[in-house]
Structure 1
Amino acid sequence: MSHGKIREDKTCLNCGHTVEERFCPHCGQENIESRQPFYFLFTHFIEDFTHYDGQFWQTIKYLLVNPGKLTKEYLSGKRQLYVAPVKLYIFISFITFLLPNFLPESKETSPQSERTKIEKTEDKRKTSEKVLEKLEKKGYLSKDVSKEIKKGMDTIKAKDSINDALAHSEDVIESTLSTKESSVFNAYNIKQYDSIRAKDKTGFYQLARPFAEKIFTLKEEGYTKKQIRDKYKETFIHTIPKALFVYLPVFAFFLWLFHNKKKWWYFDHGIFTLHYFSFLLLSTLIFIIITRIFDAIPSYGIINMIFWLLYTALFFYTSIYFFVAHHRVYESSKRISILKGMSLFIINSVGITLMLMILMYVSFIMMH
């Protein structure tokens, strides 16, 4: 509770009603002085935060490990101990969009990485040559010794050039052998793609042209196939929250169709949907964190295995979560709950997939 000084005037500043005690019985505003000491800002902030903090962690705990618990509590009227469904969804959405920006990026995000390595190596060689010249001028090294060192450096440089040439030739060979892999819908540039599109009668090539054009543009900018795939994956992950938000009322509508209209209102399905989608966002955030952590550390066999185990466990838990939550909230028999759950899961999986594809298409085209 706040420790601000109570006003002597018993008229509420917010609504004008009489305040007998600390809080207005009409609007709930605390009847304290409008101006307080400066430290009051900090004490008030700490009190509000710890109050919300207690609600938040209790809510997150039930959301993650107790499917359906929050929805049952809310619909039964127990709402003071938990964060409200809409606030919870907005807060988790905000965190899901914001937090990944502070996490370390993948090591191979820029097509300039190899060029930077070469430039750094060249800078080191130039610095070494300047140091040798200074030592020679000051008499610390004789001209003969300096020449021998430079010859050694030239030999190393020549070896590096040979290695670079071999590596480049390997890339060319690999590119030649895997041309089908590097093609985009059987085309290797936008002109070839347009010639195939002109002959296509299905309309697929016309629809996919912006997508193909984007890939060819990224290749021209120097991005490798792996880097394009990484950018695509990153864009896909960030598209999930947008797709879920747009699909919220549709998901609730399908729940309404499959259940007793007298017992369950659309409002009830909306609360279930908000809690379930909050969980999906939270699991997406956990996946992003795991991915970024493993991208930032060296790649070893055991580390890759741990990553895939975590990813697989999260995937299966996310898939099972809906059935457990549905069974607990709607209190139907396990058999009926499984049948309804399977039907809803399939219908909504198709719906969310279509929504994702549309948003993914738009997001990828606008990616830079």
Structure 2
Amino acid sequence: MSHGKTREDKTCLNCGHEVPERFCPHCGQENIETRQPFHYLFTHFIEDFTHYDGQFWRTINYLLFSPGKLTREYLSGKRQQYVAPVKLYIFVSFITFLLPALIPQHKDQEDTPKSTVENKKVQQETLTKTLDNLKKEGVISSQNAQHTKKIIDSLQKNDSIENRENDDLLDNTFSNKSSLILGARNLKEYDSLYNKTANPLYSYFRPFAKKMFELREDGFSKKEIINKFRDTFIHTLPKALFVYLPVFAFFLWLFHNKKRWWYFDHGIFTLHFFSFLLLGTLIFIMAERLTALLPDFSLLSFILFLAYTGMLIYMSLYFFIAHHRVYETRKRVSILKGMLLFIINSIGLTIMLLILLYTSFIMIH
């Protein structure tokens, strides 16, 4: 509660009803003076934040460490002391989008920035012009100039081959002879190679290949493309989960008593579960960003490996624990239903993620 000065007039400025005490019984607005000291701006903010902070941390504590308890509390009517499910999901989605951007990524020294590629082109043009000028001035003969150009071209080709050999996953996908585009250097070659073969995957992968060639022509390295792809995927994931939310709740509705459990109840369970998944994803991202800044020690790496493994196991078991606690079925029935729901939704989520992977890459800019 704020400590602003109470108005002597007992008429609510918001709705016009009589205010017998400090808060209006009709609309809930505090009946305080409209003008307060300057420090009131800061004290009011701290008071509001502290109130929300207690509500928020209680919600996060139950969400992370007490699977199913938050849903049970909400469905039983205890809602005032917790963040509402939709608001919770939106907030967790927001911080999943925001926090990773605040922590810098560990940059690999082997990455080739776009400016470096442009510098190589400028250097090539400069060398060619210099040789032409020397030939015109008679400093070197045409034969020597041509021979020097061939040496420069040979060195550049060797450098290109060496860089290609050091390429990572994307290069293996797009340049390897066993891959879909079979070493095509541009979109025109890709179309000529696969449009003639009537490959059923041609139409599906063409936008993918087009985006890849565009990014390579713009001078982006493979690792830069991977980082862009990962960031786009992370930003799109909360939206995709939100779209899949009613589908997940629908499968829960199919497997449970329709009289006892309404679709609304399954929606609350799904919102809490998806909020947990996003929060777990955020923890993984933040841990990866922070540990990348730490020195590389074998013991530390082993401890981190154990921590990540434990988190993955916990995230896998979370659904079964929460499902059993909320729906209060017998353990065997709960495990059986949980397994079926887990398999069905794993297939559904996998399909959704494949679509998301495709669209995320196409959306890179």
The TM-score range, normalised by the shorter chain, is 0.7 to 0.9
Residues 10-66 of structure 1: per-residue CA shift (max 9 Å, x gap): 222222222111111121111112222221111111111111111111111111111
* Partner amino acid, structure 1, of 2:112: P
Structure 1 match to 2:92: 92
Alpha carbons 1:111, 1:221 under 8 Å: kept: no
Structure 2 match to 1:251: 248
The answer as to 2:103 corresponding to 1:103 is yes
Question: In structure 1, how many angstroms separate the alpha carbons of the residues matched to 2:269 and 2:347?
Answer: 19
The answer as to 2:66 corresponding to 1:62 is no
The structure-2 alpha-carbon separation of the partners of 1:299 and 1:174, relative to structure 1 and needing over 3 Å to count, comes to farther
Q: How much identity, in percent, do the aligned residues show?
A: 64
Structure 1 match to 2:35: 35
The structure-2 alpha-carbon separation of the partners of 1:174 and 1:114, relative to structure 1 and needing over 3 Å to count, comes to farther
Q: Partner of 2:30: helix, strand, or coil?
A: coil
* Partner amino acid, structure 2, of 1:292: R
Q: What is the RMSD computed on CA atoms of the aligned residues?
A: 2.9
* Partner amino acid, structure 2, of 1:106: H
Q: Which runs of 5+ in 2 are unaligned?
A: 121-154
Alpha carbons 1:326, 1:337 under 8 Å: kept: yes
The structure-2 alpha-carbon separation of the partners of 1:353 and 1:180, relative to structure 1 and needing over 3 Å to count, comes to closer
Alpha carbons 1:243, 1:352 under 8 Å: kept: no
Question: In structure 2, how many angstroms separate the alpha carbons of the residues matched to 1:250 and 1:354?
Answer: 13
Question: In structure 2, how many angstroms separate the alpha carbons of the residues matched to 1:61 and 1:230?
Answer: 32
Q: Partner of 1:199: helix, strand, or coil?
A: coil
How far 1:262 sits from its partner (Å)? 0.9
Structure 1 match to 2:45: 45
The answer as to 2:293 corresponding to 1:292 is no
Question: In structure 1, how many angstroms separate the alpha carbons of the residues matched to 2:41 and 2:164?
Answer: 67
Structure 1 match to 2:347: 350
Structure 2 match to 1:78: 78
Structure 2 match to 1:233: 230
Question: In structure 2, how many angstroms separate the alpha carbons of the residues matched to 1:169 and 1:22?
Answer: 76
The answer as to 2:318 corresponding to 1:321 is yes
Question: In structure 2, how many angstroms separate the alpha carbons of the residues matched to 1:4 and 1:180?
Answer: 66
Alpha carbons 1:237, 1:284 under 8 Å: kept: no
Tell me which moved more, 41-50 or 193-202: 193-202
In the superposition, the TM-score normalised over structure 2's length comes to 0.79
The structure-2 alpha-carbon separation of the partners of 1:113 and 1:213, relative to structure 1 and needing over 3 Å to count, comes to closer
Q: How does 1:188-227 map to 2 (within 5 A)?
A: 188=183, 189=185, 190-227=187-224
Question: In structure 2, how many angstroms separate the alpha carbons of the residues matched to 1:172 and 1:86?
Answer: 48
The answer as to 2:158 corresponding to 1:171 is no
* Partner amino acid, structure 1, of 2:99: L
How far 1:298 sits from its partner (Å)? 4.8
The answer as to 2:15 corresponding to 1:18 is no
Residues 174-204 of structure 1: per-residue CA shift (max 9 Å, x gap): 369x986633514222233212321343531
The structure-2 alpha-carbon separation of the partners of 1:174 and 1:363, relative to structure 1 and needing over 3 Å to count, comes to closer
The structure-2 alpha-carbon separation of the partners of 1:170 and 1:296, relative to structure 1 and needing over 3 Å to count, comes to farther
Residues 308-337 of structure 1: per-residue CA shift (max 9 Å, x gap): 433332222111111110000000111111
Question: In structure 2, how many angstroms separate the alpha carbons of the residues matched to 1:197 and 1:347?
Answer: 35
* Partner amino acid, structure 2, of 1:272: F
How far 1:206 sits from its partner (Å)? 0.9
Question: In structure 2, how many angstroms separate the alpha carbons of the residues matched to 1:297 and 1:241?
Answer: 29
Structure 2 match to 1:127: none
Q: Matched residue pairs, number?
A: 321
Question: In structure 2, how many angstroms separate the alpha carbons of the residues matched to 1:363 and 1:15?
Answer: 48
Alpha carbons 1:68, 1:328 under 8 Å: kept: yes
Tell me which moved more, 239-248 or 306-315: 306-315
Residues 109-159 of structure 1: per-residue CA shift (max 9 Å, x gap): 95328949x99xxxxxxxxxxxxxxxxxxxxxxxxxxxxxxxxxxxxxxxx
* Partner amino acid, structure 1, of 2:359: V
Question: In structure 1, how many angstroms separate the alpha carbons of the residues matched to 2:231 and 2:303?
Answer: 21
Q: Which runs of 5+ in 1 are unaligned?
A: 120-163
Question: In structure 1, how many angstroms separate the alpha carbons of the residues matched to 2:299 and 2:213?
Answer: 36
Tell me which moved more, 190-199 or 268-277: 190-199
* Partner amino acid, structure 2, of 1:280: L
Question: In structure 2, how many angstroms separate the alpha carbons of the residues matched to 1:334 and 1:327?
Answer: 7
Question: In structure 1, how many angstroms separate the alpha carbons of the residues matched to 2:181 and 2:194?
Answer: 11
How far 1:301 sits from its partner (Å)? 4.5
Alpha carbons 1:67, 1:324 under 8 Å: kept: yes
Q: Partner of 1:52: helix, strand, or coil?
A: helix
How far 1:219 sits from its partner (Å)? 2.9
* Partner amino acid, structure 1, of 2:182: A
The structure-2 alpha-carbon separation of the partners of 1:173 and 1:270, relative to structure 1 and needing over 3 Å to count, comes to closer
Question: In structure 1, how many angstroms separate the alpha carbons of the residues matched to 2:91 and 2:19?
Answer: 33
How far 1:246 sits from its partner (Å)? 1.4
Question: In structure 2, how many angstroms separate the alpha carbons of the residues matched to 1:50 and 1:23?
Answer: 20
Structure 1 match to 2:261: 264
Question: In structure 2, how many angstroms separate the alpha carbons of the residues matched to 1:360 and 1:7?
Answer: 58
Question: In structure 2, how many angstroms separate the alpha carbons of the residues matched to 1:169 and 1:111?
Answer: 13
Instruction: Select 1:187's aligned residue among 175, 182, 191.
Output: 182
The answer as to 2:356 corresponding to 1:359 is yes
Alpha carbons 2:114, 2:218 under 8 Å: kept: no
